Amino acid sequence: MKRRDFLKTATATAAVSLLPAPAIRTAWSQSRQETLLFLTESGPNNFDIHGVGTNRPGYEVSWNCYDRLMSYGSKTLPDGTLSYDRDKLVPELAEEWTAGDMSATFKLRKDAKFHDGTPITAKDVKWSFDRAVTVGGFPTFQMKAGSLEKPEQFVAVDDHTFRVDFLRKDKLTMPDLAVIVPAVYNSELIKKNATEKDPWGLEYTKVNTAGGGAYKVTRSQAGTEVVYERFEEWKSGPLPKIKRVIWRMVPSAGNRRALIERGDADISFDLPSKDFAELKAAGKVNVTSTPIGNGIWYLGMNVKKAPFDNVKVRQAVAYILPYQKIMDAVMFGLAKPMYGAASNSASAPVWPQPHGYKPEIEKAKALLAEAGMANGFETTLSFDLGLGVIGEPVSVLIQESLASIGIKATINKIPGANWRGELVKKELPMIVNFFSGWLDYPEYFFFWAYHGQNAVFNTMSYQDAAMDALIDGARKAAAEGDAAAYETDVKGFIDKAFAEVPRVPLFQPYLNVAMQKTITGYQYWFHRQLDYRTLVKG
């Protein structure tokens, strides 16, 4: 039996059913040293980070198949795990750059090529940045998070010189150039596949890669498999050791665990925390657990829809959530609690940090009564099936606790490929969700999650002029180096978020990854996806 057929069988089987060892050895015999196989619960719905509703697995395709001008350096965490370094920018497509008060100029590698052999020039960078700030939705907001807003800011000086003109002083501008969105696209290839209705070629790049990154997609089957091959002429870094990457979607967590335990897969993501804790204790495979920077799981309530437009209803919910049960029964200690502080006042200008809510049933009932909801109400609680190993048990525990104060919540399971699109509609009354900010600063997280002008990750339709002013003030203070004003504004917007609770933080999770002991070079990244370029099979 071929390896591909074996994996299809494993995926389809409800109960774990594995092949005998001789067949497994045969399946791996061809180029095993140069091939990486990893497993996740769900896969990409779009290969293009600029696409509409691209999910998190789609970010992984973009990260590995496209270059950016710069990337982040590495650092070693206290437990020995490699991590990206927020404070260190390193060359990628740009060999060097100079940054002044109001502009930055980048010198591009002269030997860089796209996957089809076309030389990469500054005009491609210009076209790509113009695309990012024009297509709308998440990519445009992401660029705006670093004050990158207008095509006029981007200048192709000559074939190998590119300049970014700043609209204002912003501490986040340079770091924002190293995230996934400002990737460099093969402009001529995409133009050939664009249409009048689709001038940026988004339909083409949804299922095709058009970059010059270290890997290129050579085969894919939606919901089942993505296969990459190394781009042998990649010049923006050391040529990766892994020649071929096979990404399999295995919906069953039990199957994913069995495959990694038996040695039939190299890396496994998205397992329940209980499985990761047991795998770590057994010691047969390596398990890394890294706190996800600037990230929280939360319960969100749509403040534009009754009854959650009433702050007392939202506070009542915050006083009935089963915080410790979630930590014990779902996370098995592989998370940091975001509850139980002495009060709802920020202790420092940092994020994430715990709030002061804890289960107090009488207080919750009193708040509901004050809101005119003494007998409770009915609602819907939605979660992303693509993150179901956490989202579903958390939702069930919340459903049980809400029932204790008369709130009847029907659980709504939304397929991962549809989740982002449903969030953007702003119709869901109550959600269990996860969000992390790529740039690890409090004002960046709140810009995305609480600022009234954002339509993507401000999932609860929260709009408040005073909140916006505090977030904008913190960004301005950071750019000007005004530490006192920065602390005042950051503490101010955290206090306001805790008081008005459009979303209730539950916990800061760890990114857990199970790997065979032959795998080295794993690095934690802000986007929480794999970077194949540094991985090595021993």
Given this model, what pLDDT does residue 31 score? 67
- In this predicted structure, what is the pLDDT of residue 28? 45
- Domain span at residue 257 reads 3-64+190-289+511-537
Domain match, 444 and 389 both: yes
Distances (CA, A) of 99 to 104, 113, 164, 271, 382: 4, 25, 9, 43, 45
Rounded alpha-carbon distances, angstroms, from residue 497 to 45, 470, 485: 32, 11, 18
Low-confidence ranges of the chain (pLDDT < 70): 1-31, 455
pLDDT value for 32: 78
Last-in-domain residue among 128, 158, 188:
188
- Return d(Cα 86, Cα 89) in angstroms, integer: 8
Q: Are residues 336 and 449 in the same domain?
A: yes
Domain count, the chain: 3
Are 327 and 356 within one domain?
yes
In this structure, are 407 and 334 located in the same domain?
yes
Which CATH number does the domain housing residue 105 bear? 3.90.76.10
**419 and 462 co-located in one domain:** yes
CATH code: domain of residue 527: 3.40.190.10
| Domain match, 49 and 136 both | no
167 and 231, same domain (yes or no): no
118 and 229 share one domain: no
CATH number at residue 379: 3.10.105.10
Strands 225-230 and 244-249: antiparallel
HEC string for 299-359: EEECCCCCCCCCHHHHHHHHCCCCHHHHHHHHHCCCEEECCCCCCCCCCCCCCCCCCCCCC
For residue range 284-324, what is the model confidence (pLDDT) as tens digits?
A: 999 999 999 999 999 999 999 999 999 999 999 999 999 99
pLDDT digits over 9-61, tens only? 434 333 333 433 444 444 444 467 899 999 998 899 999 999 988 999 999 99
Return the pLDDT at 454.
75
pTM for the model: 0.86
Do 114 and 97 belong together in one domain?
yes
Residue closest to 351 by CA, chosen among 298, 422, 278: 298
Same domain, 481 and 389: yes
Residues 239 and 317 in one domain: no
